[in-house]
């Protein structure tokens, strides 16, 4: 049905609230970069309108810090755009501070706690090798 796949990978040792928080932030980046993902508004039986959502399913995976680093590097090597969240961003309070702390680190560090990407299904599968379905 879809030629592309959206994958969000979160570090497996995070608290549940952190995993959920990161997943939401990462999906916002995928959506912002892919306006074609957004479907039509939803209308309930009472005629009340609700905001539209992504038309495409999202797979959520979990991984160790090492696998997350590898996923980030594989995506970079293939030129696949990603949304990345690093551990140091938990200590900031706003977008500008997030970007500042993010700029102080490299993708080769094991501080990535979440990453998201959208690409051809086969490419996503190769890039996310080692990550497991989140449970």
Q: pLDDT (tens digit, 9 = 90+) per residue, 57-109?
A: 999 999 999 999 999 999 999 999 999 999 999 999 899 999 999 999 998 88
| Structural domain of 81 | 4-133
Q: Please state the pTM of the whole predicted model.
A: 0.93
The residues facing 43 across adjacent strands are 49
- CATH number for 26: 3.40.1490.10
pLDDT class for 1, splitting at 50, 70, 90?
confident
If you search the block for the tokens 């990535």, which residue do you land on?
A: 112
Q: pLDDT (tens digit, 9 = 90+) per residue, 103-131?
A: 999 988 899 999 999 999 999 999 999 99
| Selection from 120, 125, 122, 127 nearest residue 4 by Cα | 120
For the chain, the domain total comes to 1
Separation of alpha carbons 27 and 116, rounded Å: 7
Q: pLDDT (tens digit, 9 = 90+) per residue, 20-34?
A: 999 999 999 999 999
Torsion of CA 60, 65, 69, 74, to 10 degrees: -50
């Amino acid at each position: 049905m879809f030629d592309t796949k959206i994958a969000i990978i979160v570090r497996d040792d995070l608290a549940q609230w952190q995993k959920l928080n990161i997943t939401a932030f990462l999906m916002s980046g995928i959506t912002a970069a892919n306006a074609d993902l957004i479907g039509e508004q939803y209308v309930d039986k009472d005629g009340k309108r609700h905001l539209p959502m992504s038309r495409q399913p999202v797979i959520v995976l979990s991984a160790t810090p090492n696998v997350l680093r590898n996923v980030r590097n594989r995506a970079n090597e293939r030129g696949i755009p990603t949304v990345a969240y690093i551990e140091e961003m938990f200590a900031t309070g706003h977008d500008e501070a997030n970007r500042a702390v993010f700029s102080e680190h490299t993708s080769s560090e094991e501080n990535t706690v979440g990453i998201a990407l959208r690409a051809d299904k086969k490419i996503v599968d190769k890039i996310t090798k080692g990550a497991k379905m989140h449970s």
